[in-house]
Structures are given as structure tokens and as C-alpha cells.
Amino acid sequence: MKIQSLETFHLRPRWMFLKITTDEGISGWGEPVLEGRAQTVETALREMAPLLIGQDPLRIEHLWQTLYRSTAYRGGPILTSALSGVEMALWDIKGKACGQPVYQLLGGKCRDRVRMYGHLKPTGHPGDFPIEAMLEITRGRLAEGFTVMKYSIIPPIRPIDSPAMVEAAVERFAAVRECIGKKVDLAIDFHGRVSPAMSRRLLAALEPYYPLFVEEPVLPENVDALAAVARGTSIPIAAGERLFTRWGYRELIEKQAVSVVQPDLCHCGGILEARKIAALAENYYMAYAPHNPLGPISLAACLQLDACAPNLLAQEHPGMPGGQDLGVGILTKPFVIEKDGCIRIPDGPGLGIEVDESRLEELAFPGAWDTPRLFFEDGSIADW
């Protein structure tokens, strides 16, 4: 079997799919997208294509090493996002060729169902919005059966901010906690947009409300700063969506700066690379909760690894209205979140999905989507 072609598809709202086709008619799908940089990743895929065309798609590790190591400049969000999508598609091909789900090729299932968590954010609100709007979504998530939820802290936050800001943040979390009770887990994401000084104050104020974890209280690029924040709180710290490959995770894990690792399978290097990261974290008794704000192919890849990662905590998905992120209108058999807030592990070969290519054209868009930017009142950028 030889790789014959690579084809990309840009889909609303901001996704990009990759289809790799072989000379034996078996195709595999991946999701090689980077938020706000899909067209740049697409260029990287075109540059990788000559190294893939004509090669045996079943030699996944060899092709991964070739794409990653055969250039002087390795890693980074663009190259590893392109590589991740390729790797996903190769696993899809291999599973289909063997007639087995990917999880069987990675050692078999540890579980039959995966606990899911969705976001508590109204569509089209990049900034502040009323607490009641969040509570309305929260009640809907409860009705859907979710036992885990997450929302993002409302930015921007100054490097050293006022007591009113802290009180407002706690008021929102407390309101959601009161709504869901003590048997449902609630996480909060700081998006790395908070200074270490303010993270300490916010974590101390949130501690009585028992967050499941706080995601990216500070950026993970300074692991010592993240570790210092983690040591000052009993709240589990999570991070990793902006780290790439096992080498990018090494210091984070060795310094025990987190309790939960969050590789994004569309960015970190793919399915097997995320498996290696989860195994490294397992040595330090850390949980694994893959980051996934993207589409149904990303979710399909996550579920294959979730099935066989013993330290899985829960699986993120955006929770889009209409279920497009679950594959509604895209997959011939969309994923279904059952009344206990879980998705059953698919048992089909490869990634366990079939893309309805006849629907892709109606969802197509040029691919230009920019990440929303945040500014302080004085006009300066609010991201660290």
C-alpha cells in the first residue's frame, strides 16, 4: 500500500480536515488545524506532501520521525499541528487496513465509555456576559446529563487587579456551583491570561468552591512560574494545550507543575505522541484530560486514545448548538452523548467514523479565521 494523495477541506466554523488516500482505495482522515492559522498549517502540509507520497502509510512511527526530525527546525505549533493531522489520518488508514479500531492497536480498551465535559459560554460572546446567561446554559447541561463542566474566566485582568475583579470572578463560580450542587464537577480556565500574582489571589478565593481544576492559571512556557503557583494551592492545576511533543512536556511533568496534562491531539504530534505524554504523566500520578475545542475528527481521535489511557480524567468538547462538533451534518453516524454525560467508545475500524463527503461543500469557507484579541482600556494588549 502506498500514499497517493493529500487533500484538505476548510469547514465552518474554523476547522480544517485532511484526507489521505492510498493506492488501494483506503482513505484516512485527520484534523490538522491551528486556531487562527489554518492556512499556514495548510502550507506546511503541502511542504510535507513530497515526503509522504509513495510511502507505506502503515509505517506511522517512521513517517512521524521523518517529518519531525529531518529538518533543522523542529516542533512548534505550525509544524506539529500539520504533523498531528497526518498522523491521525495514518492511524485511521492502519485501523481500516487491519479491520480494527485504533485503540485495539494501542493495547485495547481500559473503559467502554468516556466522561465528557462541555463549555458554559454563550455563542458569540468573546467578553463579559451576565451570570444568568451562564446559568441558563448550565441548567441545559445538567438536563443533558453532564457531570463535568468548564467555563473560562472573563478577561481582561490587569497584572495586579482590584478586589472587585476577584469578587466578580468568585461570584460567577459560586453561582454555577450552587446551581450544579456538589456532585457535579466544575473546572475553570484562566487561558494563561492572568499574572502569577493575580492567579494566587484568584485561586485562594476560589478554593472554598472546590474547582475540579484550574486550567492555565499562568502560561506554561515558564514552568517554574506555573509550578510556584501550583505549590500555593490545593486546587489541581491543568495545562498543556500549548505544548508540543513529549519533549515540550518533559519539564512540566518532571517539575510537577500540574496535576492534569492536557495535550491537544491536533497540535501535540498526534495520537501516539499524546499516548506517550499520558504515559509520562502516569509516572507522576497525573491525570490526562485531552484538550479539544475543535471538530468531530479531533474528537474521534481523542476517544480512541481515551479508551486505552488508564489515567484519563474527562474529555473536553465544545458543546456547539446543533451538535456539529459531534459530527452532526458531517459524519454518517455522529457521536451521541448519553444521559449520563458519556460517549460510548466507537467500535468501527480506524477512528471509528465515516465522513459524509457530500456534506463538506455546504460547510466550506476560505479558511481565514482570526483568534479574537483582547485589549485593556489603555489600548495595550491584554494577553501575556
**Which of the residues 10, 119, 291, 317 is marked catalytic?**
291
| Cα–Cα distance, 307 to 93 (Å, whole number) | 19
End-to-end CA distance of the chain: 47
| Cα–Cα distance, 252 to 229 (Å, whole number) | 13
| 87-113 exposure pattern, b = at least 16 Cβ within 10 A, e = fewer | bbbbbbbbbbbeebbbbbbbeeeebee
CA distances from 366 to 15, 16, 294 (A): 11, 10, 17
CA distances from 123 to 42, 71, 97, 137 (A): 27, 41, 40, 10
Q: Where are the beta strands (DSSP E) in the chain?
A: 3-11, 15-22, 27-30, 113-119, 148-152, 185-189, 214-215, 237-239, 260-261, 287-288, 315-316, 342-344
**Which of the residues 10, 191, 267, 317 is marked catalytic?**
191
In degrees, rounded to 5, the angle at the alpha carbon of residue 282 between the alpha carbons of residues 242 and 66 is 55
- C-alpha cell at position 265: 491531539
Give the torsion sign (CA, 369, 373, 379, 384): negative
Closest CA to 379 of 152, 129, 193, 156: 156
Query: Is 11 in contact with 365 (CB distance < 8 Å)?
Result: yes
Strand, helix or coil at 355?
A: strand
Active site residue 10: no
- Which active-site residues does the annotation give? 191, 291
